[in-house]
Amino acid sequence: MFDSTCDLYDRVGEKARVAEPIFRDFGARSRFTGEAVTVKCFEDNSRVKEILATPGHGKVLVVDGGGSLRYALMGDLIAQDAVAKGWEGVIIDGCVRDSAVLARLDLGIKALAAVPRKTDRRGEGQTGLPVHVAGIRIAPGDRVFADADGILVLDPHTAQEIAG
């Protein structure tokens, strides 16, 4: 794992990209790290559901939901799939739903808020491209570190340097 995002920042300084502090914790796991997998979608969670149904050991899904507070991009059923498939965490620039159930799942979940409205799945969204979330750029393969103090992202080269 890692000590903390604060200690990690002290080690790497400005090599780290630090997300704006806009997220709330929703999962039972408040500290998580993994390789970034990205999706960009707006008010349609089709791609989120598809990705979290695939093996996710050592991975964190980063969702650029455009900051929408109108529809939830993940609920309890999708989150339960993520746990079953071994995902480390999910960061959503948007909303979740079923927050009481999410709080009991062994999954790191950071999102802007909770809202009861689910999305209509229209099969929209893009995967595997750099996204911009909370003031920082996150590309597939970047290393994401999250804890109670926030979210810190390193490029793969820097992450390898500190691991080695």
pTM for the predicted model, two decimal places: 0.96
Q: What is the CATH number of domain 5-163?
A: 3.50.30.40
Determine contact, residues 143/154, Cβ cutoff 8 Å.
yes
pLDDT surpasses 70 at 162: yes
Backbone angles phi, psi at 9, to 5 degrees: -60, -40
The pLDDT of 128-151, averaged and rounded, is 97
What's the pLDDT score for residue 1?
A: 66
Query: From the CA atom positions of the chain, what is the Rg in Å?
Result: 14
Q: What would the pLDDT profile of 14-43 be if each residue is shown by its tens digit?
A: 999 999 999 999 999 999 999 999 999 999
pLDDT surpasses 90 at 120: no
CA–CA dist 112, 52 (Å, integer): 19
